Amino acid sequence: MKNFLAYLRLCIKKASKSFLAVTLTVLILAGLLALCATVMINTDKNDVSRQKVKIGVAGDTEGTHLGLGFEAIAQADEISFSVDFIEMTQEEAEMALAEFEISAYVPVPLNYVSSMVKGEDAVLTFVMSKSSADISAVLMSEVAQVLSPLVTDSESGIYAMMDYGYDNDADGMADKITRLNLKYITEILDRSSAFEMRNLGIDTLSTAEYYVCGIITFFLLIFSVACCPLFADKDLPLGRLLMSKGTKVWQISACEYLSYLAVLFLSVTLLSLGGGVICQKIDLGIDPSFAFGLPMSLFPCILMISAMQFAVYELTFGIISGVLAQFVLAAALGYISGCFYPYYMFPQSIQTVASVLPSGITFELLRDNVALRESDSWWICLLYTAAFLIIAVIARRKRLSEETA
């Protein structure tokens, strides 16, 4: 036990000497990741054109009541936030649809408005191809199919009322028809009360919250690259000397692991405090309490990821191979777990595999904390921690025995 405590103090002293270099590297790394998160969030927020449905209007509507209607919709209507109506010729519309520049187009027949004024059954066709039919265009088509009979029947009712009034010389019919038309416009065609648009984000989180969780997960995964000075020199002669004095291999590995765990936990704590202060000063869409409570809520994941990284360094030979292995592992786990893209973009089989990986468990725990959901993944983290430490001890014992032989 005396040798164990002495070696633990030695490992902590070695970690403290490297802590300044590690801290500077971590700050640079954290700054780059924060910049990447900012770019991803702003790109997603500002790319409004990707979120809109583009509908082509094929026909000459300039100077007509129909053209004025489209212009009013584009400037003042609620639907302008989700749909773009683009005026073009029939040939341009067909080409744009084939090249996926628009979701669909509506060919406008000649004298369409005058036909409606006369009470004739004028028809507009909603044209889209199966290859370009995204979910938004399909929904627009379904809405058109539902509203078409409603508009047609209402129009027929209004014209029938006009004909009855004119045929029977009803008093005040013009005023009644005007009020009926206004009621029809304000109530039946009021899109703000007909439907509500809600952006549920990703996994019930906003885009900013999702990407912040992803960047934190990737930071934990890539942290070991910055800590290569701690693992650059595996003092095997000292290990053999400790073994000759009765110290167990698992005790040697435990001392080195605990020193690395302390560096990782302290770095996460300092960055969380700094992030919490920034969230208090600047509205980033992140609750400051989430940042302040990050070290404790993430502690099971910190145990697991630090044990995984420690085992990787034990399994590799040389600092260069160790750093490369850590980087490749962090990039692969971060990608497959959805740190860079929404996880639902991957096939269901990959999502299932990612959910049981250390990176996926960490990412899910972070999202649960932000969404204030209950999480019981801490015991999985402890199982992973124990498994990785057992692997590290076996690798260290094998290396010490080979050196001794």
Q: Please, what are the averages of pLDDT over each run of 10 residues along the chain (405 residues)?
A: 79 78 75 71 51 70 55 53 72 82 77 62 69 54 58 66 70 70 61 52 70 86 80 67 78 88 88 82 74 87 93 85 88 88 80 90 88 83 94 87 60
- On whether residue 147 sits in a domain, the answer given is no
On whether residue 149 sits in a domain, the answer given is no
Report the residue count for the chain.
405
Residue 154 resides in a domain: no
Q: Who's near 396: CB < 8 A, 6+ residues apart?
A: 239, 249, 252, 253, 314
Task: Give a yes or no: residue 243 inside a domain.
Answer: yes
Task: Tell me if 103 sits within 8 A of 136, measured CB to CB.
Answer: yes
Could you tell me if 394 and 336 lie in one domain?
yes
Ramachandran category for residue 198: left, alpha or beta (phi over 0 → left; psi -120 to 50 → alpha): beta
Q: How far apart are CA 149 and CA 339, in angstroms?
A: 46
Partners of 53 in the β-ladder:
83
What's the CA gap between 169 and 192, in Å, rounded? 38
Question: In this predicted structure, what is the pLDDT of residue 49?
Answer: 45
Q: How far is CA 167 from the centre of its chain?
A: 63
What's the CA gap between 362 and 225, in Å, rounded? 19
Pseudo-torsion of CA 242, 247, 249, 254, nearest 10°?
-100
Is 364 found in the same domain as 218?
yes
**Cα–Cα distance between 357 and 345 in angstroms, integer?**
18
DSSP, collapsed to helix, strand or coil, labels residue 136 as helix
Q: Are residues 70 and 132 in the same domain?
A: yes
pLDDT at 48: 44
Residue 153 lies in a domain: no
Clarify whether residues 210 and 131 are in a common domain: no
Amino acid identity for residue 21 in this structure: A
Q: Which DSSP string corresponds to 322-350?
A: HHHHHHHHHHHHHHHTTSSS-GGGS-HHH
The verdict on 273 and 335 lying in the same domain is yes
Beta pairing partners, 84 = 54
Q: Transcribe 89-108 into DSSP letters.
A: -HHHHHHHHHTTSSSEEEEP
226 and 189, same structural domain? no
In the block, residue with structure tokens 């970690």: 15
Question: Do residues 354 and 336 touch, judged by C-beta distance below 8 A?
Answer: yes
Question: Is residue 214 within 8 Å of residue 336, measured between CB atoms?
Answer: no
| Residue-level pLDDT at 4 | 78
239 and 364 in one domain?
yes
| Cα dist from 49 to 58, 83, 101, 330, 345, whole Å | 20, 9, 11, 33, 20
Q: Which of 225, 228, 240, 185 is nearest to 334 (CA)?
A: 225
Q: How many CB atoms lie within 10 A of CB 97?
A: 22
Residue 240 and residue 95 in one domain: no
What's the alpha-carbon Rg for the chain, to the nearest Å? 33
Q: What gap in Å lies between CA 256 and CA 310, rounded to an integer?
A: 9
* Domain count across the chain: 3
| Same domain? 174 vs 300 | no
CB 272 within 8 Å of CB 292: yes
The domain containing residue 275 runs over which residues?
2-46+202-404
The CATH number of the domain holding residue 73 is: 3.40.1710.10
Q: Is residue 148 part of a domain?
A: no
In a domain, 274, yes or no: yes
Residues 229 and 307 in one domain: yes
Q: Tell me the C-alpha to C-alpha distance, in Å, between residue 262 and each of 19, 26, 302, 381.
A: 10, 14, 10, 17
Do 238 and 222 reside in the same domain of the chain?
yes
Is 343 within the bounds of a domain? yes
Q: Give the C-alpha separation, 367 to 377, whole Å.
A: 12
Contact 306, 386 (CB under 8 A): no
355 and 248, same structural domain? Answer: yes
